[in-house]
Structure 1
């Protein structure tokens, strides 16, 4: 396989583009190595999902972003997601690059850095270079190599030692022009005993076919607490391939809050490496599939440190002829004594043609541990519907209440009220309510 068959960009073109952006030499070199690596690697092989039949080759070409200075200049789709002072700590990417970036004076004074990743690589090399592509390595498979080679825009968040950021910082990623490369990469570094909440939204406009190949890397140093909340709401013409990884050091914690609300085919892989003793990972995922979507969601926790704890909860609703594979993987390595890994995957199917497979997997290489899983797949209980209808509730409303009751254990546990509201609105849209 040649480089030209993977994406419309060869080594010389990539080098020229990197230099045109005035990127540091080390980043240009890393991009070129990743592109060459991509030509030798295979596509990922998610469980029971044949993505080799998907069109993952059309990445478009880089188109320089047109920056704006005020919220009023942003596309309506974006400004609708931002309220009040939320614009104080905000990054917006449209297609191939960042068009808006702001950080409050208060956070600047505390040493917090929040900007697009391209800018951070130029201006904060000492913070970016040691971590970039170390959590999600280019050699995982062809898609991670391609993102390492051609990522654009993205976001970089750094929280200094002992700094607690009490208000969420936010990023919005919009793909509008199908001819433009859209491959953001997120890097979050939370230093020792810091804490932060990061929230982002991924959206698309238009009906042209496009591919999102995105990567998230999170480094939580000793005692750091990171909450990462994301909602993906791409349209039916967008294929979403997202790879998220976190590494937690001693007594650090990561909380994943994920809303999978796409209308197109989707593969996501969210993993935490519990490297340090006493570290924790908590992942909450809700998903709604409709139409003829093909969906594959994998959540994973790998325990290396002693006394580590992981929890994974996934709840998915499938309607029409949507098909979902839900994988939960808990891996406890030898030496990770007194670790505890729990996971739950539940799928609710709303039509005879809908399908959902829940696959809990426990891989235990240590004796002194606790681990457990629960999984279920089923349809709306007719007895529950009958009971509610006997109380004067219509059938559609009864089914709606049952669905919300099914998702409630995850949605109600989300500590961000505005994100709860946003997810509820998207669930209603996906379910045609």
Structure 2
């Protein structure tokens, strides 16, 4: 039986909330339009996934956040992800808004902006307006419309022209109150010839159902580079909806590193739009499903620029009765000559009741291109298990080694050591190792 999506707020409340935040008039109008669209648009139609059967009504309501005095005030699940001695270049959102934001003086002096999006909107509205909800459109579906109406917290990262940021900027998003809305929006703008790395973690604690409806928009200007790493580790009662989009200009590059370690139902769409000639996108994603989880993950590269390149690698491990739909889509538009688009999706099932579906899709409207895909779905190779057992290794340890070997092509290539170690720990925890 499907669950109706009930709008969590009315028109007057949206307008009043926007006013109390001192948002510009264009943002208030955008929010109201989003609410109007959410009343009429349909839910997204996902490949082989009945999202209308998910609990999408638990959006919570806005609860004004209280700043924290120190990282020690956070739940244990969140504190473990932070170093109390490194408090610069960090944003923390707890439930409906930011509770901590700090940028180093060195980066601020270079013109870098890194703060929560709500604060940035009061100080840098002119920088935000040309980009907000431009890659993820309000009218795509009911959920994107609703996000545009009720978004809160989030992050705004702006890197000026010719500025190289050598240290990763970090954001932590924590939900531990199911009554409070949790709808972060991340906006990153890297001007020409700049570079930056951004790392985020989404975690939850406590009980109670809640829908996380997040959006990420990344604009990578000519010859710029953005590395975006995200790890979602949300609880069983959390339904996670994530849209991530990047627009990549001439000779620019974007790297996506995605760890889907949730315990509840989840959908994510990670898309690179390769607009400029010589643009490049690299996506590495891993996912682990357990219990009764329903997962739908899409990675996509859309090529417009000549001689643009994309590479997408996804590995998913399913156990118990979990099921996953893994989609890889390479779209090469007419005129994108010299393009090279490659993708690989593999699903490993650890239980007879687990289900996995890998769907590689090539949509090519140009002749002078290279494109390829590989996909596989299967169970643990028992011959490999027996071989390892014959060398004195227990069955459990043999299966563990095979699983890690399956994920290694993605995890080992992640260029951020911190994310490598974190994903390794989360994989071990989810698989009960």
Matches of 1:345 and 1:252 in 2, distance apart? 25
Q: Which residue is equivalent to 1:111?
A: 111
Shift of 1:127: 1.0
Shift of 1:371: 0.1
Shift of 1:53: 1.1
Is this contact kept in 2: 1:7–1:58, CA < 8 A? no
Q: Which residue is equivalent to 2:167?
A: 167
Matches of 1:254 and 1:5 in 2, distance apart? 34
Q: Which residue is equivalent to 2:266?
A: 266
Shift of 1:56: 0.5
Is this contact kept in 1: 2:5–2:56, CA < 8 A? no
For residues 111-134 of structure 1, the C-alpha deviation after alignment (integer angstroms, 9 at most, x for no partner) is 110000001111001211111111
Please state if 1:366 is matched with 2:384. Answer: no
Please give the TM-score of this superposition, normalised by the length of structure 2: 0.98
Structure 1 outlier segments of 4+, above 6 Å: none
For residues 284-309 of structure 1, the C-alpha deviation after alignment (integer angstroms, 9 at most, x for no partner) is 00000000100000110000010000
Q: Which residue is equivalent to 2:405?
A: 405
Most deviating of 252-261 and 61-70: 61-70
Most deviating of 74-83 and 173-182: 74-83
Shift of 1:5: 6.3
Matches of 2:75 and 2:102 in 1, distance apart? 17
Indicate the SS of the match to 2:87: helix
Matches of 2:86 and 2:201 in 1, distance apart? 13
Is this contact kept in 1: 2:71–2:84, CA < 8 A? no
Indicate the SS of the match to 1:413: coil
Matched ranges for 1:67-216 at <5 A: 67-83=67-83, 85-216=85-216
Matches of 1:7 and 1:178 in 2, distance apart? 16
Matches of 2:239 and 2:266 in 1, distance apart? 6
Is this contact kept in 1: 2:198–2:228, CA < 8 A? yes
Indicate the SS of the match to 1:288: strand
Q: Which residue is equivalent to 2:353?
A: 353
For residues 154-198 of structure 1, the C-alpha deviation after alignment (integer angstroms, 9 at most, x for no partner) is 000001101111010000001111111110000000000100010
Indicate the SS of the match to 1:88: coil
CA RMSD of aligned residues (A): 1.1
Matches of 1:222 and 1:5 in 2, distance apart? 40
Q: Which residue is equivalent to 2:376?
A: 376
For residues 179-229 of structure 1, the C-alpha deviation after alignment (integer angstroms, 9 at most, x for no partner) is 111100000000001000100000111121111000000000001100000
Q: Which residue is equivalent to 1:292?
A: 292
- Structure 2: tracts of 5 or more residues without a match: none
Is this contact kept in 2: 1:328–1:345, CA < 8 A? yes
Shift of 1:9: 1.0
Shift of 1:276: 0.6
Please give the TM-score of this superposition, normalised by the length of structure 1: 0.98
Matches of 1:87 and 1:104 in 2, distance apart? 9
Q: Which residue is equivalent to 1:235?
A: 235
Matched ranges for 1:19-58 at <5 A: 19-58=19-58
Matches of 2:220 and 2:84 in 1, distance apart? 29
For residues 69-111 of structure 1, the C-alpha deviation after alignment (integer angstroms, 9 at most, x for no partner) is 4323333332211125542110000000000011111111111
Indicate the SS of the match to 1:341: strand
Indicate the SS of the match to 2:386: helix
Q: Which residue is equivalent to 1:336?
A: 336
Q: Which residue is equivalent to 1:432?
A: 432
Measured at CA, do residues 229 and 5 of structure 1 come closer, stay the same or move farther in structure 2, by a change above 3 Å?
A: closer
Q: Which residue is equivalent to 2:417?
A: 417
Q: Number of aligned residue pairs: give it.
A: 430
Q: Which residue is equivalent to 1:311?
A: 311
Shift of 1:29: 1.0
Indicate the SS of the match to 1:426: helix
Matches of 1:160 and 1:38 in 2, distance apart? 35
Indicate the SS of the match to 1:406: helix
